[in-house]
Each structure stands twice: as C-alpha cells, then as structure tokens.
Chains A and B, each alone.
Chain A
Amino acid sequence: MQTGNTQITLTQDHFEPVKTNARDVEVLSGPPVGFWRDAWRRLKRNRIALVAGSIIFLVFLLAVVGPWLTPYTPFAQDLERQYREPSLSGFWFGTDEFGRSMFDRVWVGTRVSLYIAFLATALDIVIGMSYGAISAYYGGGVDNVMQRIIEVLVGIPNLVVIILMMLILEPGIIAITLALTITGWTSSARLIRGQVLRLKEQEFFLASRSLGAGTYRLIAKHLIPNVFYIVIITLMFTVPSAVFFEAFLSFIGLGIQPPNASLGALINDGADQMRFYPYLLIFPAIVLALITISFRLLGDGLRDALDPRMRK
C-alpha cells in the first residue's frame, strides 16, 4: 500500500537502475581546496581583518616614502615657522617648536618605531625558537634544565628588566631592541618546544625513522607549516607590544632621545605642549593607535583563518 504525492507521472523508464560507482561517491560535492587556499578564502571573508591589513600596508608605505612627499625634512629647524597649524596648503601636520615639519617627523618616527619592533620581534623569534627546539629535541635532562631556567626568567618582571637595562645602556635603538629581545624570547621558546614535543610523540615520526627517512625531511614536512603558523601569529601580537613599549620608554625618558624621532618621543613632546598645540600630539598618536589596532585585528583574523582545526 503506497501513499505519497508525487507530482510527475511515472514511467517504466524511471525505474532503470543507475550504476553508482563507489569511488564517485567519495568525491565531495564541492571542489577540494588546499590548505593555503582555504585559509585565504576564510581570511577574505573577514572584512575587518582585510581593512586592518590595508591600513598596515598604508602605514608601511607612508613610513618609507612619507618624507619624500613634502619639500621639507624631518630635522631642518627654522624658528620663523614654529608652531604652524596643520593645513593642506602649508605643512600637512603642522610644525613643532623648532619649526620642523611634523609630517616628516611623524613618518620618520614611525620608521624608527617599526624598525625597532620588527628587529626585536625577529630576534625574539629566532632566539626563542632555537632555544625551544633544542630543548625539545634533546629532551630529558637537557630539556629539564633549560625549562627551569626559563621558569626563573619568566618570574622576573619584564618592566624591571627593561628599566634596569635602559639605565646602564645608552638610550637608543640598539639598547631598546636589546631590552625588548631579552624579555620577549621566552614565549616563542615555549611555543616551539610544545610543537616539537608533539611532533616527537606522533607515530609517524617513529615510523618514518624506522624506515630511514632523514630527519630533515620530517622536519620540513611536518614542523614547518605548524611553525609558520606560530611565527605569523606571534609576530602579529609582538610587534604592537614592542611598539608600545618603545613608546612607553620614550615617554618616561628612557627611550629615543631628541632630536631623534620615534612615535613615543613625539608623543611625549606632544603631550607636554598639548594644552596649546594639540595637533603635536594627535598625529603621532593616531598613527600609533592605527598600528596597534590593525596588527591586533589582523592577528586575530589570521589566527582564525590559519587555525588548522577550524578547517571545514
């Protein structure tokens, strides 16, 4: 007894068997995508991250070519034109108490700040990763000792170390970079160590080894993608933190000294004179805020996009 409401009239033809190939069935209904393409697709959908990325790109661009866009230079002083308000026809960001073009100074300062941040982060990652990889690879007693050292180092507050270091070293780019590196490498070390340990435990590691596969090939195929992910994400979050620290140090007088410019130094000067010349503070502040926010948002977006667990 049949019930139902089929719309079409059925003919014998409809009941011809159709050969299903088991293999056809395994093909998923959409085209398969590689890891990178999938990640890129996911990233593209995150509009906020894209905007953040564009802002970063813009800032970088201006940091490099900014000073060339104007006929002025960052260091030339001319007391005749001090404290000019920002205007589109004259000085785009105004001038400071020495008559220097703020536009030029801001972008030169950005250069310095970004340079320090990236250098410190790069050193951070290199040192941290090497330490962590060695520690995990050799395991056992070596690992234990190395981890104890890290534990003690981590217990020492970053701020304290940075301040003390800045006191004995001559304030400047090298000093700040050094101070930031010394305090920052521990997190990369831990992350990499975790990855390598996990890799060691996986069965195919043992299997490959017993087949005589070189350790290098193993490392290349399995470690690198994971490491890449970690490196990118760490970068995205360490850079704004480094920029912040540098700015902070300059603000309390331990960072970049005048007449050199960095975002922090500029903000420090600007804060002092804010009562009457707010534009001296606002422009470097906006650039700093844009950098920090954009890196964070892009970092969040990248983390979501590249996370291997979130693949559909």
Chain B
Amino acid sequence: MASGAVNAEIVLRVSDLRISYSTYAGEVQAVRGTSFDLRQGETLAIVGESGSGKSVAARSIMRLNPESNTIVRGGEILFEGEDLLKLSERRMQAIRGPKIAMVFQDPMTSLDPTMRVGRQITESLKKHLGMTGNAAKRRAVELLKLVGIPNPGDRFRQYPHQFSGGMRQRVVIAIALACDPQVLIADEPTTALDVTIQAEILELMRDLQARLSMSIILITHDLGVVASSAHRIAVMYGGKIVETGTVREIFYNPQMPYTWGLLASIPLPTADRSQDLIPIPGTPPDAINLPKGCPFSARCPYTMKVCGDEMPEVTRFSKDHWTTCWLHHPMAPKVDPPARVGGRH
C-alpha cells in the first residue's frame, strides 16, 4: 500500500461536475454531479467500469474533451484559485503541461508515429520553459533516464515504432513530466500492457511521485492496481461517485453494494479454486435513459423500492469515507456484506 501524508492541503477540487455529450441518438449524460478532492502528494484512484464517466471527468479537468459535441452542464473545477471550466483556451494551454499533465491508456497510439521521440519531449520544454536546442535536448535525455529507458542518448533520436509497449509508456510519462507538473492524471496507464510491465510502470509512478512530490489521479477499473498504488479511492458508477474513502476504509469496510461487487470479483491468488468468480450481473446503464434514482439500482441485489425513484442521501462514516446508498437510512433493513468482502488483505 502506498504511504504518504493524507492530511495535506487540497490541490484540486471538483464540485458537482456535470458533463454531457451529444450523439445522433440523443444527449449522453456522462458525468452527473461528481465531486472529489485531490490532496498534495497523494494518489487518488477513480475506479469504475467503462462507461462510468471516469475518463470524461478526468479529461474535463484538462478540458480535453472534443469541443464539437461536449456540453458542460454545470459544476466547477478549482485549481490554484481559478475555475478551470471557465478559463479561456489560451490560459488552459499554459496550464496543460507545466501544471497538470496526462498519461493515456494505449501507448501504441499515444505517440506521433512520424516524429522522433526526443522531439516529442522537447516540444513541451521549448514552449513552456523557453528552452532551446541543446539545453532542451539534455533535459529530454535526463527525463528519459528518469523514467528508466536505457541508452537515453541514442533513444532520443528514435521513432516510436522502435520502442516496445512498456518503453513507449515510459516515454509518455517522460513527456508528461517534462515541465514538472503538480498534478498527473493517469487514465488507465497500465490497462494496455502486459501484467509484468504493468507492475514496472506502477512502481515507476510511485517512485516518481515520491521524488517529485506530485499528486496523481489514477483512473482504472482494476482494484489490484489500486491496492498497490493509491491512498484514497473514489468509486464511480453511472456518472456519479457512489463511495469514497481511504484505501484501508474501502478495502476493509466497504459500505455500498457496488463496491462489494467490485471487491468480490477480484480473483484471490490464495483462494480455493472451487469458488466461482462472482461477476456483477447485468450490464452498465444506458447513458441516455438513466434511472431517476441510484444508477446501480437495476443491478443491485439489495435494491429497495426507493432506490430506483430517489437519489440516496450522503452517509458519512469518517472524515474521508462517505457513500450514497439507501441501505444506510435508519428505515432500511440491516444488510451484511458478502462473506468474501471485508477484512481482507
């Protein structure tokens, strides 16, 4: 589990974010009132299935959603005293790179195939730090070394297709780190990689975080990744955050059926092979026709009548741990989480 101060100041605050995009079939509400904080030096993991809205939320922080069909329906994103949703494109360009940087999912398509790798790093250095020629090259080579690429001097001149998947992802991280950003957003950085490479990349990121004291938002659907790398977790479903807390709190004391489902479906290396894997039945909600109440109500094994009709109220368990679920209402029946969940390492 990652270590680090959890009481530090807030670096980024997302409040009631609402983002939709228009398609030929109608308006898709991707993010429906999401709020979370990112604190200095921590790694916040946003966990959810595909379609939960986590990527859209993350990209909204950097305003990287496609302009032609993205609609900001509300909310604010506070960073260094400004609302990022209201800034001009020009101001955003000054923030992207030097202050907030991003690492994408698929290293095979994230790099421009026709440009040398070194140049893709120096582009950033030249624009934001005003570096020129040799100084930029030296810094770029340093960065390549920092992310663990052997022979950085030679590699500088090479093209992306000459690197393996894992190496390319390291390059993408180097590009992100070029201008020393405060916040790094990693959108499923290891999903497209082999299991062994995944571990390497995660370790690299933990290492870099400690060295450069960055704050990281880690987006993933894989709880295993979360366990090793994150301090706090936010669980997203159907465009909303349904539970959030520190890693200990979520893993040892989860309070929401969807979280239980996620935890129960992780295969344990020590588990008895005769036990079935328990997937969560059903499919993600249709993002155009969303239920009025809790988005998980259709698939939840503990659904009650009120769940589909009304959004649950927020229940707080500690400073960092809260959830939105009707099971915690005093009038609700007492329910225990399934045996496999809770109290596990």
Contacts and interface: CB of A to CB of B under 8 A. Distances in A.
B281 A22 contact: yes
Interface string A290-312: 00000000000000000000001
Interface string A12-35: 111111101010011011100000
Contact of A25 (B283, B307, B326): B283
B314 to A, nearest CB: 5
Interface in B130-146: none
A2 B315 contact: yes
B304 A16 contact: yes
Contacts of A20: 298-301, 303
B340 interface: no
A14 B312 contact: no
A200 interface: no
A211 interface: no
B328 interface: yes
A4 B283 contact: no
Contacts of A29: 286, 289
Contacts of B345: none
B15 to A, nearest CB: 15
Interface size class of B (residues with CB under 8 A): 20 to 34
A47 interface: no
B313 A18 contact: no
Contact of A10 (B281, B315, B329, B333): B329
Given A1-B316, A6-B310, A8-B310, A15 B329 contact: yes
Contacts of A45: 24
Contacts of A4: 311-314, 324
Interface in B259-281: 281
A11 to B, nearest CB: 8
Nearest to A23: B281
B332 to A, nearest CB: 5
Q: Which of A10, A15, A29 counts the most chain B CB atoms within 10 A?
A: A15
Given A8-B310, A14-B331, A17-B333, A22 B282 contact: yes
Nearest to B23: A312
Q: 7 nearest interchain CB pairs? A: A4-B313, A25-B282, A22-B281, A14-B306, A29-B286, A18-B303, A3-B314
10 contacts: A2-B313, A2-B328, A4-B313, A10-B329, A14-B305, A15-B329, A18-B307, A18-B308, A20-B301, A30-B289
Interface of A: 1-8, 10-18, 20, 22, 25-26, 28-30, 45, 312
Given A15-B331, A17-B333, 18 more contacts: A2-B314, A2-B329, A3-B316, A4-B312, A4-B313, A12-B331, A14-B305, A14-B306, A17-B304, A18-B308, A20-B298, A20-B299, A20-B300, A25-B283, A25-B299, A29-B286, A30-B286, A45-B24
